[in-house]
Amino acid sequence: MHPADAMRADRNHSAQGSGGGPVAARSRDEAALHGRVVAHTRALLAQGGHWLGISPPEAQIRFDLRGRAAGQARFSPRGPWVVRYNPVLLGANAEDFLAATVPHEVAHLVAYARHGARIRPHGPQWRAIMQFFGVAPERCHRYDLSGVRGRALQEFDYHCNCRGHRLSSIRHNRVLAGGSYICRRCATALRPGLHPGGGGHLRPDEEVLSANERK
């Protein structure tokens, strides 16, 4: 065997003997971290359900969220419940992600299972569950996003009978396609334009309910 071939063979043998090298090690670390998140999500879901005397449906747990959001809870009376986590932010903030982001998303599921869709996403019901979990009820994470690419959504002015709202371009396009949204406070449909009385703008995820969710 040529000396160069022997050196290459030695390097290959060494890499295989150490478990596949750094790439394989990162893959194992990532899988282990995802396993911790899955276990913690399920444990908190069970704890929150036991505390409130309910049995929340088992949620699908995915690591496919991109952009600036750390997590997302999705629930539907007719479809599967899903928790999506951002693998990039998880990898860069593992311990804080487990301590804060996972309870944040699970609290949404537990609150919805107990109180239904009419509650505010970060209202008192959600905050009470966060406090039961022993976590500060903060709406937004504080992770470094300097290396994360995100897409800014345009917002459009709408109003109901009691105040002004701003809908994201996604919701605005749904309205143009025939959908509608209702104010959680006065239960009237949102209409395009500023409120005649100059009511302040509110974030859509806080005070707007899809007409379909109301049924």
* Cα dist from 18 to 13, 34, 85, whole Å: 9, 22, 30
One domain, residues 117 and 202: no
Pairwise CA distance, residues 186 & 137, whole Å: 26
Out of 30, 58, 95, 105, the active site residue is 105
| pLDDT number for residue 181 | 87
**Domain count across the chain:** 2
Domain boundary at 133, 165, 185, which? 133
On whether the CB atoms of residues 124 and 143 are closer than 8 A, the answer is no
> Do 32 and 120 lie in a common domain?
yes
Read off the pLDDT band of 18 (50, 70, 90).
very low
Give the integer Cα–Cα distance in Å for 106 and 2: 60
Using one digit for the tens of pLDDT, what is the confidence trace for 82-125? 999 999 999 999 999 999 999 999 999 999 999 987 888 899 99
Q: What is the CATH number of the domain that holds 106?
A: 3.30.2010
Instruction: Report whether pLDDT(15) > 50.
Output: no
96 and 48 in one domain?
yes
Residue 95 annotated to the active site: no
Whether the predicted model's global pTM rises above the 0.75 cut: no
Q: Give 89-94 contacts, CB < 8 A, sequence gap 24+.
A: 89/141, 89/143, 89/148, 90/33, 90/34, 90/37, 90/63, 91/30, 91/33, 92/143, 92/144, 93/143, 94/33
- Report pLDDT digits (tens) over 116-154: 878 888 999 999 999 999 999 998 888 988 877 655 557
Residues 100, 101, 102, 103: is their CA dihedral positive or negative? positive
* Domain match, 123 and 64 both: yes
Q: Is 181 helix (H, G, I), strand (E, B) or coil?
A: strand
pLDDT value, residue 150 = 56
Longest dimension (CA), the chain: 87
124 domain residue, yes or no: yes
Beta bridge partners of 158: 165, 192
Question: Average pLDDT in the 37-46 region?
Answer: 97
Residue 189 lies in a domain: yes
Report the half-sphere exposure of 136 (CA within 13 A, side-chain side).
6
Q: At CA 117, angle to CA 116 and CA 118, rounded to 5?
A: 100
The pLDDT confidence band at residue 209, using thresholds 50, 70 and 90, is low
31 and 104 co-located in one domain: yes
Which residue has better confidence, 147 or 188? 188
Confidence of residue 196 (pLDDT cuts 50, 70, 90): confident
As separate numbers, helices (DSSP H) first and strands (DSSP E) second, the chain gives: 9, 8
pLDDT for 6 equals 43
User: Are 178 and 119 members of one domain?
Assistant: no
